[in-house]
Amino acid sequence: MKSFIFLESKRKFNTNRQLKKSLKVFIGAAIVGCLMIGALVVWGGIAAFKTISTFATTPIIQEKILNLETEIQNMPVLNDVGCWATVQDFMNAEVWFQKPIVENFNNIKSACLNK
């Protein structure tokens, strides 16, 4: 019975040209839409990468980073406690990708505040 219904609906689909044309238009629009969305995602990724890379190389930002590093080194609390090496280790972005954020913050806190 189910195969009969399937065959009957297939026969009706094959004879109905308007339905075929509508289906082709719908599938074509879906493909074009997917391509456009993919192109927008790629464009957004490239634009974000360019923005971030130019932001990091801006002289003002580099100067602020250097000022921050010198201020941190000159902080008496960090020098007295001896946790400057730990804080410097955590300034590397790779450490934050390898361990969970909470674990990194707990390590900094234990190295700098609990001694």
Residues 52 and 84 in one domain: no
Same domain membership, residue 42 and residue 65: no
Say whether both 108 and 91 belong to one domain: yes
**Domain shared by 72 and 107, yes or no:** yes
pTM, to two decimals: 0.42
Kindly state whether residues 68 and 28 are assigned to the same domain. Answer: no
Structurally, the chain folds into a number of domains equal to: 2
Domain span holding position 70:
59-112
Residues 47, 6, single domain; the answer is: yes
Q: Residues with Cβ < 8 Å from 83, sequence gap 6 or more?
A: 108, 111, 112, 115
- Are both 6 and 21 inside the same structural domain? yes
Q: Which pLDDT tens digit goes with each residue over 17-63?
A: 888 888 889 999 999 999 999 999 999 999 988 888 777 677 777 77
Query: Are residues 63 and 104 both part of a single domain?
Result: yes
pLDDT tens digits for 65-104? 777 777 766 666 555 455 666 666 666 666 666 767 777 6
> Each residue of 34-47: pLDDT tens digit?
999 999 999 999 99
